[in-house]
Amino acid sequence: MTTDAFTISDGKISVHGKVLLLPHPVTEAKSYLDLIIVKVESPAGTIFNRNVFGLSRNGEFRWQIQESEHGTQQDKPYIDILINPDGALIAANWNGVNYLVDSDNGKITIYTFDK
């Protein structure tokens, strides 16, 4: 994946040519406002529920998403990040809850419940 600011290759993200170190392989990234929103995926058997990060356009860490408080399972990472038609940043969780993500700090609020 390539954009004007970042590339993803072999699970690593580079911003303006600088490879950034994240705790797990990068599986998705999107440009959003003045940020790059990055989702990582942990290996099977590893619990890492705060798997979405907000980075500046210069590759500086701004925030890590708040963990979902919903669901009974301990392992509940975010499975998708998207921008809805109204321009809001949404993080979808496998437990059926879609969260509105505050782009200033990574805090979440319930947006929809799909199950």
CATH topology of domain 6-113: Thrombin, subunit H (2.40.10)
| Residue 2 banded pLDDT, cuts 50, 70, 90 | very low
| Amino acid in position 114 | D
Sheet strand arrangement including 61-64 = 26-32, 35-40, 52-56, 61-64
Q: Are residues 65 and 81 in contact, defined by beta-carbon separation less than 8 angstroms?
A: no
Nearest C-alpha neighbor of 26 from the set 57, 51, 60? 51
pLDDT digits (tens, 9 = 90+) for 20-57: 999 999 999 999 999 999 999 999 999 999 999 999 99
| Residue 63, strand partner residues | 54
**C-alpha to C-alpha distances, 2 to 6, 7, 39, 65, 101, nearest whole angstrom:** 6, 5, 15, 23, 24
Domain boundaries, the chain: 6-113
Q: Does the predicted model carry a pTM greater than 0.75?
A: yes
pLDDT digits (tens, 9 = 90+) for 63-75: 999 999 887 788 8
